[in-house]
Amino acid sequence: ETGVTQTPRHLVMGMTNKKSLKCEQHLGHNAMYWYKQSAKKPLELMFVYNFKEQTENNSVPSRFSPECPNSSHLFLHLHTLQPEDSALYLCASSQDAVAGIYEQYFGPGTRLTVT
């Protein structure tokens, strides 16, 4: 499945670093999502963008900063992370996030390790 791509696939960063995760969808969708999956925990929704507008911030700490320049691209800017932020970060897209029953398509994820 290449509809949703994420880069990098693996990232190791120190607590004082600044890095960014990138997501791109080639499905013509209008909604994009960031999820976090920690070890042995269910997926947690972090942010939702619909038509480039942020529609949900699920009480995510400010050290995570999303950016959606257009409907095809989504970024997650990271700074001063903590070791407990180590997780698999997943991007998803769907037709939209307002109405309908559209399924979400996920990317392969970025495995982040904070040292």
Q: Which is nearer to other proteins, 1 or 84 (CB)?
A: 1
48 is a contact residue toward other proteins (CB under 8 A)? yes
Interface segment toward other proteins; rule CB under 8 A; list 13-21, 43-51, 61-69, 70-78: 43-51
Nearest-CA neighbor of 79 among 70, 68, 67? 67
Overall residue count recorded for the chain in this entry: 115
Which of 72, 99, 112, 115: binder of other proteins (CB under 8 A)?
A: 99
**Chain position carrying tokens 């950016």:** 67
Residues 15-34, interacting with other proteins (CB under 8 A): 31, 33
Q: Quote the least distance from Cβ 33 to other proteins, whole Å.
A: 8
Which of 21, 36, 78, 109: binder of other proteins (CB under 8 A)?
A: 109
Which residues on adjacent β-strands are paired with residue 54? 49
The H helix count followed by the E strand count for the chain is 0, 11
What single string gives the DSSP state of each residue in 89-104? EEEEEES-SSSS-PPP
107 is a contact residue toward other proteins (CB under 8 A)? yes
